[in-house]
Amino acid sequence: MSHKHPLVMIPGLMCDDTVWRPVLDALSPYCTPMMVNHPQLSSLPSMAEHILKSAPERFVMAGHSMGGRVALEIYRQAPKRVLGVSLMDTGFLPLPSGEAGENEVSKRHALVNLAHESGVRAMGQAWVQGMVAPSRLGDAGLINSILDMFETKTAAFFADQIKALIARPDGSEVLRSMTCPVQLLCGELDSWSNVAQHEAMSVLLPAKPPVDVIAGAGHMCTMEDPQAVGAAMAKWLQSIPA
C-alpha cells in the first residue's frame, strides 16, 4: 500500500495511548497512527470538536468504548473529512428512559463517589471487574496496566467524562448516514457493550458490515488480545481506498 492514511485513534473513558500501544506494530504498515487524548471536557460533541481542530484534513479514525461515541460525533460534525471508521466495544443509543436510565446513572455516580472518596485506583479496582474477560481478572500485568492508566487521571476528570456519557447523543442517524468503510469490532465477552449491540449498529449502517468478534476477549480487547485485534484492524485498513 503506497499511500498511508492518518489513523486518528480515540481512547475511551479514563483511557489514553495505553489502550492502543499493543496494536501499533500490526497497524503501522497500513496507516500513520495518530493517538489523541481527551482534555477535561464534559460533553461528547466538545471532545469531537477538540479532536477535529488538530486532525488532518482527511483521515481514518478508530474509537474504542466512549471513543467510539466520540467518533460518531466527529462524523456528525465533519463527515466529508472522514475516510473510514472503526467502532470498537462501543454503543450508539442515548441514556434509556425510566428505570433503566435511573439505574445506569446511579451506578455511574457510585463510581464517581468512590473515586472522590477512596481515590481513582480504588474506583478502578471495582470497575475493572467487568472490563476484561473473567479469565483475565487474575492477570496482574494486564490489570495493573489498566489501573496505572486510570490513576494518571483525577476524580474530577472522571466526573466530567461520566457527565458526558450520561448526556450522550443518539448516534442512530449518524450510523444511517455513514457512507465510508466502517468496521465494527467487539470482544466476545464484552459485558459493557456486547456483540448484539454491534449487530444492531450493523443493521443501521448502509453497508451492513459483519461484526469482527474477538474470541475470548472482554471490553479491553486491544490490551487482552492485541494480535487478533491488530489483524482485524489491519484487514479493515487495507479495504479503505487510497
Instruction: Tell me what the mean pLDDT of segment 165-171 comes to.
Output: 98
1 has a pLDDT exceeding 60: no
Name the band, by pLDDT with cuts 50, 70 and 90, for residue 3: confident
pLDDT > 70: percent of the chain: 99
Cell of 36: 489523541
Contact of 146 with 131, CB cutoff 8 Å:
yes
The grid coordinates listed for 194 are: 456486547
pLDDT digits (tens, 9 = 90+) for 27-50: 999 999 999 999 999 999 999 999
Q: 5-95+169-237, which class in CATH?
A: alpha beta
**What are the tens digits of pLDDT across the range 204-231?**
999 999 999 999 999 999 999 999 999 9
Q: Does the model's pTM come out above 0.85?
A: yes
Q: How far is CA 11 from CA 118, 173, 220, in A?
A: 24, 23, 11
Residue 78 pLDDT > 70, yes or no? yes
The domain ranges of the chain are: 5-95+169-237, 98-163
The answer to whether 190 touches 221, Cβ cutoff 8 Å, is: yes
